[in-house]
Amino acid sequence: MAGGELYQRSENVYRAHKLIDEWIAGVENGSRFVFSASHLKTIHKLVADGQIDDNGNYRRIDVMVGQHLPPPFLEVEGHMASFFQYLGENWDSKDLVHLAAFALWRLLWIHPFTDGNGRSSRAAAYLVLCLKHGRALPGRNTVLTQMMNARLAYCDRLRECDVIYEQTGDVDAAIDPLVRMISDMLVTQLSDAV
């Protein structure tokens, strides 16, 4: 990746994180916030700004990601509706790590955008983690930063999730590898705050 492109990506991710911080601050101040497709598209628009033409929009082509074949683009809208439905239906009954793990896994499985899915999904998962907590989580070594620094490890966990889901069809069982990883990262983040 060329230096200019790397700088652009870093600047874009920084802008997206600033917006997420603003959303979380609103929740801390009592504002109601329900994570929606428009929020996810806004995150994507920021992280992919200047890099792809259709940033902020669901993909209109079929893609292959390594050995993973995401659903055809014609199915993306339906999968995304189910994604947000799952979050809404499970918001009160599931814990923050479960919901964040689900968000990360399912968004990367759907791969709703042409490019920038990893950056968008990690940011969305961290947003869900903080929203469920009701405020920003303390600590400088955030789960988000740890995910970016351990990309290969979390990609391995994602593949484990896919295999478990293919075998069982059980979301709770499928996301268990990510739940364990995010739990460990959250402990690291919180211990950094002490």
Is 50 or 76 the better-scoring residue by pLDDT? Answer: 76
Find out whether 87 and 35 touch, Cβ atoms under 8 Å. Answer: yes
pLDDT digits (tens, 9 = 90+) for 64-82: 998 889 999 999 999 999 9
Residue where the block lists tokens 């968000």: 103
Task: Say whether pTM exceeds 0.75.
Answer: yes
Question: pLDDT, tens digit, for every residue of 87-108?
Answer: 999 999 999 999 999 999 999 9
Fold adopted by 3-192: Fic-like fold (1.10.3290)
Residue 3, pLDDT score: 58
